[in-house]
Chain A
């Protein structure tokens, strides 16, 4: 709704100052750094918010890993931080354990890997790589960040309320989440969760609409769809996924809000609490799961696709080779996008679903292995015999490929309904999605930060610290998540605080393994401090970056080292070729940027590219039309 209003306002104000985007106003501090409409500033705002959230989400996981690895240990030393959530005997409160698991999931999936990853890099790279002065609507873009900020504030404040934050798992299944009597976290904490997520959805939609609109409408002259870098393709598909799936989460959340606050029975039916029947009759809890997973599954790809797109770009650049199978990469991302919407019920194999329906969803799920395998294959063949330059970004990208494969393989196991019924809600699932979606996307995020930091801040990050950070993280992530497969297959369940005597000590055998995982997690998490220091120090004190530090082909490196609002001081460069002309035979350099016409590279042109020379005039002829699109 607010989008409609803002669109109207946008249209309205547009008439008053219609060349506002062009003229160079000296903006005050607030308009430059806080309520900025510049996509680069908004991207940095998203990135820094995402990093802060990542540390909050990470430390929550460390605290519950302590409980899992060392059950019953004294956490008295955490009392200054957690206060009443440490009980009299110095142990972690069990309700708060559930709250932390829930908040870790929510924060990591939505606030770090959706807003922090897609929000940062879609904003930063789309205008720079397609050759636009800014997003289609800077105002909506700014609103998008501030809705996210509002959502963040609400979610953060829910950590500090007396009854604790939402605790029903990040999937917030009713009736657990719908009834305040069910658990303390389903009271005010859940209300705040739903409020926060509503704003988050609005923010995501605003961002996504802008990304799609910019990619479709504001490409520079000559930037045809088949000359777009794979990053842009991946952001495009991500935005399409978000546009189609986030409204469905909104509808699920709205019905839950009605059930919680107005007494309707969409999800609730025939529930007794302490012998008392609730008035709600006729609802269906499974309905919520359908609606939730219709977003929930595409969300996995919303998180993963940007990381895949960015690493395609980074791997091609640092292998000094054209990406292998450019069109196959686009095709497989398109396939993943389409399949994302028709596989959601594989999260629901244990809901008593018709086994025939289950096998349909199983079949569709397993088809995703095809485009995923195409992508993995293309990454490896791009690396094959390349002149690999091991920058930290490249290492993280290769790390992503590794995580994507080892996490993806277990997806084939879990996609089988017969196997999933056994493994459902065990640590096998935790290991699977943390590798393929959590770690892979996180590696993509890190690769992106190391690679585009020079463009963002005009300075370089310290390489050696980057290497140390990478190796600790890479080895650490495997030490954390690999053992989880074993305890998962053995039946160790998710989301359990501890096991009582009723469990017959059946889980005692896994204590050593759990301690090992927890220690590995602490080491991995601590290593992120190296990154944080490197990041914030380099913003202010890093070495000044050269214009094109990685000798890359894409348009963002044709801007000044510190691009101003509007990105290019003069005309926006035209694009004459695809972005992957690396190590082209005959060329003097091992890279030919996209804005170099074929007429300037006669020595390396292929026969069909010589034919393109005649068309360069047509591309140049579009300059007038392009400039006009910014003044009208």
Chain B
């Protein structure tokens, strides 16, 4: 054990905020959940008897909306760091609205799927699309709840340059949900 490691390590570890770290671990568990689903998808697909269909167009547009919401979330974090409270509130609100819009578009995407005669009950190729997008949507609802808390905190001046933990957790989670959807969307595009 060298001197440097000895003296630095405890100080270093304490500089990670335990709550931010908890969020990362939580993200890992969600990641494993979806890794399991996508692996199951591949295993099942390899066995044959797989109905192919095109993904609804709306999923492409909703992806753009979700990416935009991630950008506005990032602006919220920047605003919080600079103590620009109005910009912070507006950015969080925009993120929230875009998140909600994404969910509505996903739902209409499902309607498009139904119009294409792809149902939840039927060949697993279709069921998987519903399960993946549905569970992602459910996680996005949890993201909206986290966002609501951040919004309330922003209006009470609880988020500022000196108290960034909450907005950091919120931003991390939101970006993760965004990246998760992009992964699922690309995965489905490639494998459908």
Contact = CB atoms under 8 A, between A and B. Distances in A.
Contact of A210 (B22, B123, B145, B149): B22
Contacts of B19: 7, 10-11, 14, 136-137
A12 B25 contact: no
Given A1-B139, A4-B26, A266-B124, A247 B36 contact: yes
B3 A615 contact: yes
Contacts of A214: 18
B142 A5 contact: yes
Nearest to A15: B158
A224 interface: yes
Interface string B32-61: 110111011001100101110000000000
A219 B18 CA distance: 12
Interface string B150-164: 101100001000010
A622 B11 contact: yes
Given A246-B29, A258-B131, A252 B36 contact: yes
Contacts, number: 177
Interface string A251-267: 11011001000111110
A248 to B, nearest CB: 4
A282 B124 contact: yes
B6 interface: yes
A428 to B, nearest CB: 29
B123 A265 contact: yes
B32 A247 contact: yes
B143 A4 contact: yes
Contacts of B11: 622, 625
A504 interface: no
Contacts of A303: none
Given A209-B22, A244-B32, A265-B124, A251 B146 contact: no
A199 to B, nearest CB: 15
Contact of A248 (B14, B33, B120): B33
A224 B158 contact: no
A126 to B, nearest CB: 13
A284 B44 contact: yes
Contacts of B14: 217, 625-626, 629
B142 A1 contact: yes
A335 interface: no
The binding surface of chain B is classed by DSSP as helix
A287 interface: yes
A291 B127 CA distance: 17
Contact of B127 (A209, A266, A619): A266
B37 A251 contact: yes
Contacts of A5: 142, 145-146
B121 A263 contact: yes
Interface residues of A, number: 66
A602 B127 CA distance: 70
Contacts of B37: 251
B127 A216 contact: no
Contacts of A284: 43-44, 47, 124
B29 A251 contact: no
Interface stretch (B67-75, B103-111, B165-173): B165-173
Contacts of A3: 26
B47 A209 contact: no
A214 B19 CA distance: 10
B25 A243 contact: yes
B23 interface: yes
The binding surface of chain A is classed by DSSP as helix
A140 B123 CA distance: 39
A218 interface: yes
A212 to B, nearest CB: 6
A250 interface: yes
A528 B28 CA distance: 40
Contacts of A54: none
B182 interface: no
Contacts of B150: 8
Contacts of B149: 8-9, 11-12
A254 B21 CA distance: 27
Given A11-B19, A622-B11, A224 B1 contact: yes
Interface in A132-175: 136-137, 140
A187 B187 CA distance: 35
A217 B32 contact: no
A226 interface: yes
A290 interface: yes
B127 A251 contact: no
Contacts of B169: 7-8, 11
Contact of A243 (B21, B29, B127, B145): B29
Contacts of A615: 3, 6-7
Interface of B: 1, 3, 5-7, 9-11, 13-14, 16, 18-19, 21-23, 25-26, 28-30, 32-33, 35-37, 39-40, 43-44, 47, 49-51, 120-125, 127, 131, 135, 138-139, 141-143, 145-146, 149-150, 152-153, 158, 163, 165-166, 169-170, 173
Return the 7 tightest CB-CB contacts between A and B, nearest first. Answer: A251-B36, A247-B33, A247-B32, A248-B36, A136-B18, A4-B142, A618-B7
Given A213-B22, A251-B40, A254-B135, 19 more contacts: A4-B143, A5-B145, A7-B26, A8-B146, A15-B163, A213-B25, A216-B21, A219-B13, A248-B35, A254-B131, A258-B131, A265-B124, A266-B40, A282-B49, A287-B40, A615-B7, A619-B10, A625-B14, A629-B14
Interface of A: 1, 3-5, 7-12, 14-15, 136-137, 140, 205, 208-210, 212-214, 216-226, 243-248, 250-252, 254-255, 258, 262-266, 269, 281-284, 287, 290-291, 294, 615, 618-619, 622, 625-626, 629
